[in-house]
């Protein structure tokens, strides 16, 4: 037998212990940061934006729409190139020798079970969007095909293009965005012992400068993006719940007062979850989400055209992989203004939307991934949720398209698809429609509570200087502010919510540059550590071979050991 090869990395200059951090005081004494430099600017900017949007919703909406048009029209190519590069970066990291590096101590076990880990990844990453767009997006692409679609080839080709496009927007690209941020933070936090903060992911590039102004800017941008992303999701969620209540005849219409009441109730539920902490509240809600989502998915699969849906799921995976490169790099330059408008309304919008959520989701999945290897982390975050998401859209979106092509139709009206009502209109064509609609509305509520819980926890960590257990008052403050932001802008009218949605996309423009820097910093750090590990392995292997050769020469008599060198073979190895 031989001794085990070395796997421990050599200590880095100035590296902090990777053990559990006890609280904010210890973190701030080790990594001196003035927390108010992040907390106060972020809170003031959000409140100021909300105030202006509430007082001047039309003017603010017009200004942000103009800015968004500039970003989408001028930087669409940048978003598409950058997000696709994230996919290739993730695959490279997972398949390379660096994938064996543990996000924590080398002998550390994962903090959460695989089941709970997957549940938290899935619920935090997509949430309300899956319920809101599960039927609406494939149906929209089917009713209004993307520019360049060969419509003359018939409905079959249009349906395939609709599903390909949906898979692009919700597949590997979306989760690769989360991988880039999550991996960078998980490595800095669990491997290097840094605080839970976006800025520390840039340490390999910026060094101690992350403790200054630019580090504060990075964290403030992350907080604002997270708040706006969650508040917008809450706006969409209550609109869908209100539409469902109206569709079921429980209310006459989804009026603004009703939506404000829904926001208040859901935010109150989120606050209760927030104060219970990540190990209790988020884990329980995440498992509940998975159960409700699985129940809804199974019901539609069984009650709908089951064989068609399963066949479409398998076929669609092949179609997605076959057309991956064409879809991933398609900026649609030859479709003119129609192509630019479509891209801005869908693909570029999605990439900006996912990047605006990346600080929240990235920090959260890093927080729950201690003890995973780089390979486990990437494959878990990139592949498992993607496959579940594909199944979700194949069942819900596939049932909707089947209804239009082979069923009774009725989901696409003269004015196109009613995005808010599409899910409930589909349920109306199935048995147990009322039960399915109630389950869907409950799922939307629970998804938001989970997102708000996770988001306020992450924002609290960022605002408190990287404290892994931010104080309750901080989490409550940010969770309440999420509801206030959504409520005030909803009260201001459609312009308010549109301004919020647009601003979240605009936040992604500077953050996309930060993400590229994070990708480079992570690659630099992991490559450096891998070189140290490989060098140690070569040294160990050379030593083992030398010992074995010497022992073999002694045993065959080619070399006679000196009188004082009679140490037994095992003893020499131990030495």
pTM of the model: 0.84
Domain assignment present for 87: yes
Whether pLDDT at 27 is above 50: no
Instruction: Using CA atoms of 184, 229, 177, 216 in order, give the dihedral in degrees to the nearest 10.
Output: -30
Is 169 contained in some domain? yes
Asked if residue 31 is part of any domain, the answer here is no
Query: Pairing state of beta strands 412-413 and 416-417?
Result: antiparallel
Residue 10 domain flag: no
The reply to whether 254 falls in a domain is yes
pLDDT of residue 544: 85
pLDDT at residue 13 above 50? no
Note whether residue 389 is domain-resident. yes
437 within domain boundaries: yes
Q: With 60 as the cut, is the pLDDT of residue 334 above it?
A: yes
For the chain, percent of residues with pLDDT exceeding 70: 86
Tokens standing for residue 18: 């990777």
Range of the domain at 508: 36-329+336-534
Cα–Cα distances in Å, from 549 out to 541, 553, 559, 560? 12, 6, 11, 13
87-100 as b/e: b if 16+ CB within 10 A: bebbbebbebebbe
- pLDDT tens, residue by residue, 460-500: 888 888 777 788 888 888 888 888 888 877 776 654 456 65
Give the side-chain half-sphere CA count within 13 A for 484: 14
pLDDT(164) > 90? yes
Per-residue model confidence (pLDDT) at position 468? 72
Residue bearing tokens 């037994």? 568
The structure tokens listed for 32 are 């001196």
pLDDT single digits (tens) 435-449: 999 888 888 888 777
Domain containing residue 217: CATH number: 1.20.1740
- 291-311 confidence digits (pLDDT tens): 888 899 999 999 999 999 999
Q: pLDDT by residue (tens digit) across 52-80?
A: 877 877 777 777 777 777 777 778 899 99
* Section 148-170 average pLDDT: 93
Helix runs in 5-127, H state only = 24-30, 36-55, 57-95, 114-125
Handedness of CA 344, 348, 353, 356 (dihedral sign): negative
Cα–Cα–Cα angle for 41, 45, 50, nearest 5°?
Answer: 155
Please report whether residue 560 resides in a domain. Answer: no
Quote the number of domains for the chain: 1
Burial of 555 (0-12, 13-18, 19+ CB in 10 A): exposed
pLDDT (0 to 100) of residue 518 = 96
What does the pLDDT look like over 177-227, one tens digit per residue?
A: 999 999 999 999 999 988 888 999 999 998 888 888 888 899 898 888 888
């Amino acid at each position: 037998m031989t001794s085990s090869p070395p796997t421990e990395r050599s200590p880095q200059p100035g590296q902090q212990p990777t053990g559990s951090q006890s609280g904010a005081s210890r973190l701030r004494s080790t990594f001196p940061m003035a927390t108010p430099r992040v907390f106060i600017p972020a809170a003031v900017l959000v409140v100021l934006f909300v105030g202006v949007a509430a007082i001047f919703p039309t003017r603010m909406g017009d200004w942000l729409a103009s800015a968004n048009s500039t970003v989408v029209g001028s930087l669409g190519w940048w978003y598409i190139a950058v997000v696709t590069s994230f996919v290739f970066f993730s695959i490279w990291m997972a398949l390379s020798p660096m994938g064996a590096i543990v996000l924590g101590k080398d002998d550390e076990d994962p903090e959460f079970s695989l089941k709970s880990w997957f549940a938290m990844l899935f619920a935090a990453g997509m949430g309300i969007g899956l319920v809101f767009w599960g039927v609406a997006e494939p149906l929209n692409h089917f009713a209004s095909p993307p520019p360049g679609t060969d419509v003359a080839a018939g409905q079959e080709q249009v349906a395939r293009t609709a599903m390909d496009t949906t898979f692009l927007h919700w597949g590997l690209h979306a989760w690769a965005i989360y991988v880039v941020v999550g991996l960078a933070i998980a490595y800095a936090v669990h491997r290097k012992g840094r605080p839970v903060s976006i800025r520390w992911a840039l340490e390999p590039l910026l060094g101690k400068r992350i403790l200054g102004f630019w580090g504060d800017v990075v964290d403030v941008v992350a907080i604002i993006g997270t708040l706006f992303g969650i508040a917008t999701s809450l706006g969409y969620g209550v609109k869908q719940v209100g539409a469902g209540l109206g569709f079921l005849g429980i209310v006459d219409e989804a009026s603004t007062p009703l939506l404000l009441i829904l926001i208040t109730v859901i935010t109150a539920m989120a606050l209760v979850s927030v104060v219970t902490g990540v190990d209790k509240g988020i884990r329980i809600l995440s498992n509940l989400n998975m159960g409700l989502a699985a129940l809804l998915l199974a019901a539609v699969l069984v009650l709908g055209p089951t064989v068609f849906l399963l066949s479409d799921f398998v076929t669609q995976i092949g179609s997605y992989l076959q057309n991956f490169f064409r879809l991933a790099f398609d900026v649609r330059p030859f479709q003119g203004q129609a192509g630019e408008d479509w891209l801005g309304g869908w693909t570029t919008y999605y990439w900006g939307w996912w990047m605006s959520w990346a600080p929240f989701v990235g920090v959260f999945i890093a927080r729950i991934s201690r003890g995973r290897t780089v390979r486990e982390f990437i494959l878990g975050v990139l592949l498992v949720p993607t496959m579940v998401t594909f199944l979700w859209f194949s069942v819900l979106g596939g049932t909707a398209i089947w209804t239009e092509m082979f069923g009774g139709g009725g989901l696409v009206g003269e004015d196109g698809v009613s995005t808010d009502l599409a899910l409930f209109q589909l349920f109306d064509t199935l048995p147990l429609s009322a039960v399915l609609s109630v389950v869907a509305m409950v799922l939307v509520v629970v998804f938001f509570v989970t997102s708000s819980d996770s988001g306020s926890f992450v924002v609290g960590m960022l605002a408190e200087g990287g404290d892994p257990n931010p104080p309750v008052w901080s989490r409550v403050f940010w969770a309440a502010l999420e509801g206030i932001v959504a409520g005030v802008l909803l009260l201001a009218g459609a312009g308010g919510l549109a301004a919020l949605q647009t601003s979240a996309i605009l936040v992604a423009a500077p953050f996309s540059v930060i993400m590229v820097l994070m990708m480079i910093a992570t690659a630099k750090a992991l490559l450096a550590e891998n070189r140290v590990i490989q060098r140690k392995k070569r040294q160990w292997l050379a030593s083992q071979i030398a010992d074995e050769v010497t022992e073999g020469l002694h045993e065959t008599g080619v070399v006679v050991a000196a009188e004082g060198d009679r140490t037994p073979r095992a003893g020499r190895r131990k030495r």
